[in-house]
Structure 1
């Protein structure tokens, strides 16, 4: 989404200025063309040569310096800009932007910029919480500026609080997600997509549970791919070690019952549902109130079936394009075909989780796509991000064919 975009990065003074160098690298890695503006305070922390080397462009520092005799530098930059990103943004620069002050190159160029603006504040927690700063932030929001909230954590002053500069990858992801939401020409623009991920947990007692090896990586990749196609994505996830993709609504659940409840509450308004979670088939009949103690006798655990969520969604299906997953260790296509026939789904993604480099916990996958009255289609080994994109393109092509009939 950022490929070829003109990004003006405004770096203001603060210890977080050094992280802006990593931000430039991430923007360039995403294909953006980056020009950097440094305030006087920022130059005290990071030299312009650093940003010039990373961006391959001269860094703007002096309001009165003219890089070309026939151009007004701050106006030329403002007109060139497609995305203005102020990161890190100090309380001082935020105040200037909110009040329309223009007393250096950064504030002057920002005042002349009509492109979308994103501001990532970074400052001490007390400065961030000061009523004056909050008034200025509120003013910027009212003016249509996107505020990327500062993170909470260990500050330069030696204590924790809200005011840390967000990670550069998170900033880029947030900007990308906002641009995607505004892109009306994407295939899933404005459509509601539900994605489940992770392995559910079924409690035995307060400290133990039954679960499986699912890492959630495939589901998170599908949520990201749907977001990148313009969808309004809700990720319903069992516990994982993964970071929620920016621009994706997150609903955390633990058990199969909790996942079922979260799905049914949102199912009727969804256009596409992707059931990538590894949902437990069984749960303990009883859950102990306290930790089960070890004794000399064997312990017998009685299990009962969990609801078949995919079959229930299939029975209620009307507008939804419903995709299920079949994770198997043997007879993959036989079991997957049975699931396709019995669940009333539009597509089954068959996944041999016993295969090397595929399935649970791997960064790569290889799957076979099954659809009613269509020959199975195998997607060869690739990253889960690539597999997710391929699954969605097949789903969209099938949905188009269904709608044309």
Structure 2
């Protein structure tokens, strides 16, 4: 009789979502890594054994678009609160954006300050993006060598003065530099010449001030520069479905250009925008546009769904749509929001996992994340896909209870989140991640 290895943890589920689809399975964990995936009937030996039954077992989500804002604007959001919310929403890895913190992550010294602020405070694993702003091309390679996962830039005003946008020529210089060391550039793409000051404080006026054509023109510009420089480029928070065809052509032509969208663009529409909690840039558009985004996601032209969690203090959300801060807080709610809409459209859990875990991990090349695979970190989520709940802002863990999902009924409840085989409620055990050595 073969002696089975003793593992730290064995989790069984009749609905394990694996790279080859959803099926019954038993997942063995030792020393924080997945050591075996076996049939559901295999009992194995482990110090802790759990049977989830019909509760699904998912890989931890990877959210590559999160604004944590610490240090400098920690009153907006901080590492402790953001990562607590992430864990409650099934996110086990996130990558922090290089702005709205002070200083922004645009040089090695600022990265060191950011890492010092995060050390010991995180409930999930955290990596960092660098920033590309006017004049910092000499800092890009050093940041890359220190393990940032890529570089964010804006084509239009970022909303904070310390992170200005790049002109077309500055983008060309940055793209060339990033291409020279095989890096990734991620772009907030809105054409500044196509944007306007809102003609009023209501949502239609705000929406008209940031038309779909602004996104399309900027995306076309990024594609042109990607073709010229050879850089790998990613379009952030795609809101305008008019961009899907130009992205599809670029991808068919062999350009290394990808795109993401966000839960709010897939689940909300312009008619829902009753308060500034719904304001974001680029904006939430109409229902027909939303349907076309789903088509772009289903076709694979849009590969990732990430939150763009961009919180602020409640005071900054109390203005009208012309004056309020543009950002949506959804880190804890991304999975149930997307799953609610996805299942209504006939999509399955493996598709949601591909969009929210596998593809973001692949985009940023986050090591050992993104799937229930032998050798990966045992970042796992027990998810009850048929349970419903009503969103209560007071039950959310991000710093301020502001969300456009307040009062909505969503389907899918995160029961438990494990980080390297340990429940996240056991305390802040998140690590600060870097890219693999080159």
The TM-score normalised by the length of structure 2 is: 0.28
- Report the structure number with the largest CA radius of gyration: 1
TM-score w.r.t. length of structure 1: 0.30
The structure with higher relative contact order (CA 8 Å, sep 6+) is 2
